[in-house]
Structure 1
Amino acid sequence: MSAQRRPETRADWQALADSLSFESRAFIDGDFAPATSGETFTTINPATGERLAEVASCDALDAERAVAAARAAFAAGGWSRLAPGKRKKRLLELADLMEAHKDELALLDTLDMGKPIGSALGDMAGAIACLRYNAEAIDKVYGEVAPTGEESLALVLREPLGVVASIVPWNFPLMMTAWKVAPALAAGNSVILKPSEKSPLSALRLAQLAKEAGLPRGVFQVLPGFGHTVGKALALSMEVDCLSFTGSTATGKQLMQYAGQSNLKRVYLECGGKSPNLIFADCKNLGRVAKHAAAAIFHNQGEVCIAGSRLLVENPIREAFVDEVLAAAETMQPGDPLDPGSFMGAIVDEAQHRRILDYIRQGVEAGARLRVGGQALDGPGLFIPPTVFDGVTPAMAIGREEVFGPVLSVFGFDSEDEAIAMANDSDYGLAAGLWSQDIDRIMRVTRRLHSGQVFVNNWAGGDQTVPFGGVKQSGNGRDKSMHSLQEYSELKTVWMALEP
């Protein structure tokens, strides 16, 4: 793929799509194979309704095989005890392979879950950066020497956990995979990846590249399938030492129960969000800020855990600001995901499509003012345009629950204290935004917002150097940064008695 001319037009991307062949088997212990049961599930292109592939549907038997292979690989030490510099070299080789095949990897995510190809290419850049960051970090993490008297020597060592199971979502398939897999592999663990059944294709292609990069057998495995089968089996396994998950809060709670029922494996969760975006009247350039506020909810069809789905606007500017948001929304309409000019693509599947439309119906019935959108688009594919509700109250479902679609709820506020109270009135605490030119206000409000991350005069800013995660029912633990790498290692204390 890398030797071909880079795709630039919709026709180029369609031609590349037509040339692809999909790996659809599970990757267990270094080889691709059907599920033990022989069962498969169909993955669909949501933009066209066309069948892409019949993918292996793994279950508990496959999980058992993969866990045994992962444990054996960890015990053998070919990866877990490999010198950090040598692990780094292998992971950098994998990153280079991803770079060489980034168009193909991005296209797989676009075909599988409907996101625009431009967005998918951005995801690939993030995934590759994540792998390279963690690869470069692993030979720069030091242990500690504790302060003791001359009669003792105390060391604090960092060691890999063992077997890590990573369960990733469908909205950013390969980028979320990188966020979980890269630090776990870098730390020396054996990793079993369970991609979403809605978007498994890029994970299976990654397995091919990992094999080509020379990762030992059993160190990285991919089990496509459903959460209630193979996902549950991994969570209940007595031989899995850590479970890392991104997805819904309800599923996250269930996984914590499974961990408690089994071996008390550590569980890192990045769950749902209902993120507030606070617009104060002193912010500059309402049109520019409105474009950011619109993109904060309509990017990736609103299928984003940190989507700025609650827009809190100071009342003196509320009407003017909402008008600017509506104007921005007109430029963000859904289109063919293979068209590089499309801002939004298709909703991932029929179930999510119905869920979003049901929330829109509830918003209308609750008395919120529908300003734009609200109806599915006609024709093939699953498309919903930007939808904006004004006059939303905290009691309404669209104002409290995670819709995970292109639906914006607008609230008004009269004071700073009221804005903070409204922002914090949520079960979630994944992200929050704040737009103001008053530095004193910025410092006050950022400290009082109950959120794992706060974006000031931007939305979703950051890079691989800063942690990503939430508080309250948005989960625990962090992706990205050195904090994530440390979560996939265990501390060991060594206390030596010295002869006088």
Structure 2
Amino acid sequence: MFEYAPAPESRSVVDIADSYGLFIDGEFRAPADGDAFKTINPASEEVLAEVATAGPEDVDRAVAAARRAFPAWSALPGAERSKYLFRIARIIQERSRELAVLESLDNGKPIKETRDVDLPLVAAHFFYYAGWADKLAYAGFGPDPRPIGVAGQVIPWNFPLLMLAWKVAPALATGNTVVLKPAETTPLSALFFADVCRQAELPPGVVNIVTGAGDTGAYLVAHPDVDKVAFTGSTEVGREIARTVAGTGKRLTLELGGKAANIVFDDAPIDQAVEGIVDGIFFNQGHVCCAGSRLLVQESVADHLMDSLKRRMATLRVGDPLDKNTDVGAINSAAQLARIRELSEIGAQEGAERWSPPCELPERGFWFAPTVFTGVTQAHRIAREEIFGPVLSVLTFRTPAEAIEKANNTPYGLSAGVWTEKGSRILAVADKLRAGVIWANTFNKFDPASPFGGYKESGYGREGGRHGLEAYLA
């Protein structure tokens, strides 16, 4: 195997302030109660910045600013709103190198993912919804669709800027105003986005950003003057939000956990499938709600596929997220690393066979080697619970009916993958899988025009595509 020389991306392209306030009504402001927290680089545990914590009074101010901005923003012709969205998209493209480095520093994911996947998709979502802003009457939601009002949006730490784009772009295109709460461990790209909004001369109050932990999100979700709540995150928190919103008349969309089945039939192209399996579970350190964390392989090709998969896993490079050669970066936080370790230990205790390639992990930071478990049954916790890390559980099947039954035997229903050379089999299996997104002979491919969302404990509502407009229209 070739040894690659280090190829680090420069940190100097992005300026990180020592401290950040809350972005309310077009300005950065100090929090009313003066609290703050530190955001760290998970690859080195160095403190990147101090960030304000929004309390109830701050959330009040942000929601009030969004409410004041709503009449003028919603009254703008769609073509005028689209100009702002186009402008935001272009600024994101122009500043994508800064944003890619910032995202890798704050999140821990490899620079090649933030640079080549996250940032192009972020810009694409704003371009896509800019195109919809003056065509809402033709979207199929009635001849005169109206915005709902103030949207309270809570996003996770695994794709901080991309989840912001998924939520903010359709909300603005449809004429709503926004109060956004980024994840506590990854607030920096959202605060950078606040500066993008100012650069695009977005009217004050149209987008407001309040930082903090779970309490801040809870204040926002429960706020009586929020008309629409959108949340991406864990199923556990999603349940709490659904209870909070129940009976209030607020609109709600939830995009929650997953335990996706990646099904490989005996006629699948093995090398291509191995690439899809690796991309499905080790992309973004497995911090992906639609990750292909359960591999279902037809028995007759299981040994051959596992040999190929282990060879491929041995080539994965784990280390500095800013190195352009890195495939697997740092785990996002100490708490997440502890959960991954706990569930992996349980997998071994329950009798599954654990394997990781030889892998030298850095001494500082939060790291976990890519791991695969074989001999897994449907009763194992690692086959049922979302690990949200670079851990793959492998099960086998003999017939398509058994594959479908095992794939659907989960409380989740966000995504799935099917690998076979037969188009008829792809369609027949996909028709029976209870999952919101099904990939055929690929995995983890996203497009702004394609709706995304799940069934069962993976939430409800769709983001992306024409469907993504519906949640923001009355």
Whether the TM-score (by the shorter chain) exceeds 0.5 is yes
Aligned to 1:411: 395
Pick from 120, 124, 139: which aligns with 2:134?
139
Which residue does the alignment assign to 1:123?
118
2:230 pairs with one of 238, 244, 252? 244
* Separation (CA, whole Å) in 1 of partners of 2:163 and 2:377: 33
SS of 2:171's partner is helix
CA distance in 1, matches of 2:360, 2:236: 27
Query: Post-superposition shift, 1:198?
Result: 0.7
1: CA distance, partners of 2:128 / 2:209: 22
Name the residue aligned to 1:4: none
Is the 1:273–1:430 Cα contact (8 Å) retained in structure 2? yes
Q: C-alpha distance in 2, partners of 1:177/1:433?
A: 26
Q: Of 158, 182, 185, which aligns to 2:145?
A: 158
* 2:73 aligned partner, one-letter code: W
Question: What is the CA–CA distance in structure 1 between the aligned matches of 2:139 and 2:340, rounded to whole Å?
Answer: 51
Q: Is contact 1:23–1:201 with CA below 8 Å preserved after alignment?
A: no
Residue identity in the other structure for 1:28: I
Q: Is the 8 A contact 1:44 1:51 kept in 2?
A: yes
Q: Check if 1:32 corresponds to 2:19.
A: no
Is the CA contact 1:360–1:374 (under 8 Å) kept in the aligned structure 2? no
Q: Based on CA coordinates, which of the two structures has the bigger radius of gyration?
A: 1
Worse-superposed segment, 84-93 or 328-337? 328-337
Q: CA deviation at 1:332?
A: 1.9
* Structure 1 pair 375–422 and aligned structure 2 pair: CA distance change class (3 A): farther
Normalising by structure 2, what TM-score? Answer: 0.96
Whether the aligned pair in 1 keeps the contact of 2:180 and 2:208 (CA below 8 Å) is yes
- In the TM superposition, residue 157 of structure 1 has moved relative to its aligned partner by 1.6
Contact 1:45-1:112 within 8 A present in 2 as well: yes
Aligned residue in 2 for 1:55:
51
The secondary structure found in structure 2 opposite 1:461 is coil
Query: 1:22: Cα distance to partner?
Result: 5.8
Alignment correspondent of 1:16 = 13
- Alignment pair present for 1:253 and 2:250: no
> Mapping of 1:223-234 within 5 angstroms?
223-227=210-214, 229-234=215-220
Determine which of 87, 92, 104 is the counterpart of 2:86.
92
Task: Give the residue type in structure 1 aligned to 2:37.
Answer: F
1:271 alignment counterpart: 256
| Amino acid across the alignment from 1:415 | T
TM-score by length of 1: 0.91
Structure 1 residue 217, shift from structure 2 partner: 1.5
Q: Distance in 2 between matches of 1:461 and 1:31?
A: 36
- The reply on whether 1:280 has 2:265 as its aligned counterpart is yes
Q: Match for residue 354 of structure 1? A: 338
Aligned residues: 469
Counterpart Cα distance in 2 of 1:99 and 1:450? 36
Say if 1:420 and 1:54 are closer, same or farther in 2 by CA, change over 3 A: same
- For 1:52, what is the secondary structure of its paired residue? strand
Is the 2:17–2:49 contact (alpha carbons within 8 Å) kept by the matching residues of 1?
no
Deviates more, 1:287-296 or 1:177-186: 287-296
Q: Which amino acid in the other structure matches residue 200 of structure 1?
A: P
* CA shift digits 1:142-189 (9 cap, x unpaired): 26999xxxxxxxx84201100001101101000110000000011110
Give, as a single letter, the amino acid of the residue that structure 1 aligns with 2:394. Answer: V
Residue in structure 2 matching 1:195, options 167, 175, 182: 182
CA distance in 2, matches of 1:145, 1:375: 52
Residue type at the aligned position of 1:250? E
Moved more, 53-62 or 437-446: 437-446
Given the superposition, is the C-alpha separation of residues 124 and 319 from structure 1 closer, same or farther in structure 2, using an over 3 Å criterion? same
> Hey, what's the Cα distance between the residues in 2 that align with 1:144 and 1:212?
30
Tell me how far 1:371 sits from its aligned partner. 2.3
Residue 217 of structure 1 aligns to which amino acid in structure 2?
P
Q: What SS is found at the alignment partner of 2:368?
A: coil
Say which of 345, 350, 370 aligns to 1:386: 370
What's the offset of the Cα at 1:137?
Answer: 1.2
How far is the alpha carbon of 1:393 from its aligned partner?
0.7
Deviates more, 1:344-353 or 1:479-488: 479-488
The percentage of aligned residue pairs carrying the same residue is 41
Residues 455/328 of structure 1: CA separation in 2 closer, same or farther (3 Å cut):
same
State how far apart, in whole Å, the 1-side matches of 2:250 and 2:76 are.
24
Q: Which residue of 1 aligns with 2:164?
A: 177
Q: Give 1:91 shift.
A: 1.3
Match of 2:281 among 255, 273, 297: 297
In 2: Cα distance, 1:144 partner to 1:463 partner:
18
Residues in 2 aligned to 1:403 and 1:116: alpha-carbon distance in whole angstroms: 20
The answer on whether the counterparts of 2:376 and 2:393 sit within 8 Å (CA) in structure 1 is yes
Q: Which amino acid counterpart does residue 182 of structure 2 have in structure 1?
A: P
Match of 1:432 among 416, 419, 438: 416
Measured after TM superposition, the shift of residue 257 of structure 1 is 0.8
The equivalent residue for 1:493 is none
Instruction: Tell me the distance in 2 between the aligned counterparts of 1:426 and 1:374.
Output: 32
Could you tell me whether the CA contact under 8 Å between 1:130 and 1:464 is conserved in 2?
yes
Residue-by-residue CA offset, 1:201-220 (whole Å, 9 max, x unaligned): 01011011102211111110
Q: CA shift at 1:10, angstroms?
A: 4.1
Partner of 1:103: helix, strand, or coil?
A: helix
Unpaired runs of 5+ in structure 2?
1-5
